[in-house]
Amino acid sequence: MEQTTNRIELRGSLAELPQFSHENHDKRFYRFTLEVERLSGTVDLLPVIVPEPVLCAMDLSGGSMLEITGQIRSFNSRAATGRKLVISVYAETLAACEGEPMNNVTLSGVVCKEPVYRITPLGREICDVMLAVNRPYHRADYIPCIFWGRTAEMVSQCPVGMGLKLTGRLQSREYVKVLEEGSERRTAYEVSAITAEAEGE
């Protein structure tokens, strides 16, 4: 199996108290939302899943911010409205701290769908890529990534199956989904890439 990387470091504010999410193989997991402010002032609302032992071991006396290290995870939710890719942050460590907001992502994986390249009405180049990042036990996480400018043009040439390494940030974006019974406001999560490097086929 290829060596892949899936690391995320976040520092932000707790938007709500952790709530029980689910149990898997006799392990309990909790869910909460982390607010991470960008330099522009926009706030990303990021869903975090944390194992119960990691949550219980956290020392809350370190400050008003929460620092998380872990991985970006995905799974396919099969709901009545169809399949939906659910993205969340899997927390491996949690610590209370002080400091500036932080949102650092490093990924390496394989392009698993044809890149979608477009130019906005204002002339900005954008390319959407779905990156498959391996994890143990023959599983993979499918992570939507967005590239800008010259990097978007470069990545748009990457064929399916090519390896790609990137750094960036995980961001949330609201959009309106039009359904038969009306429209619904939803949130999408994607990695906004800052650097990208092809790693060969």
State how far Cα 146 lies from the chain centre.
Answer: 11
Is residue 95 located within the same domain as residue 151? no
Statement: residue 13 has pLDDT above 70:
yes
Tell me, what's the pLDDT at 1?
A: 40
Is residue 84 located within the same domain as residue 135? no
Is residue 91 located within the same domain as residue 154? no
Is residue 184 located within the same domain as residue 134? yes
Is residue 13 located within the same domain as residue 49? yes
Choose one of 50, 84, 101: the last residue of a domain: 101
Per the structure, how many domains does the chain have?
A: 2
Is residue 120 located within the same domain as residue 157? yes
Tokens in use for 103? 């949102």
Is residue 145 located within the same domain as residue 71? no
Is residue 15 located within the same domain as residue 97? yes
Choose one of 101, 126, 146: the last residue of a domain: 101
Is residue 22 located within the same domain as residue 93? yes
Statement: residue 196 has pLDDT above 60:
yes
Tell me, what's the pLDDT at 80?
A: 62
Express each pLDDT in 51-109 by its tens digit: 999 999 988 788 889 999 999 999 888 766 667 889 999 999 999 999 999 999 999 99
Q: Could you list the residue range(s) of the whole structural domain that residue 113 is in?
A: 106-198
pTM: 0.91
If one compares 26 and 1, the residue with the highest pLDDT of the two is 26
Express each pLDDT in 118-140 by its tens digit: 999 999 999 999 999 998 888 99
Q: Which residues of 89-127 are buried (b: 16+ CB within 10 A; e: fewer)?
A: bbbeebbeeeeebebebebbbbbeeebebeeeeeeebeb
CATH code (residue 171) = 2.40.50.140
Express each pLDDT in 157-193 by its tens digit: 999 999 999 999 999 998 887 777 888 888 899 999 9
Is residue 84 located within the same domain as residue 150? no
| Dihedral sign computed on CA atoms, order 32, 100, 188, 168 | negative
Choose one of 101, 126, 155: the last residue of a domain: 101
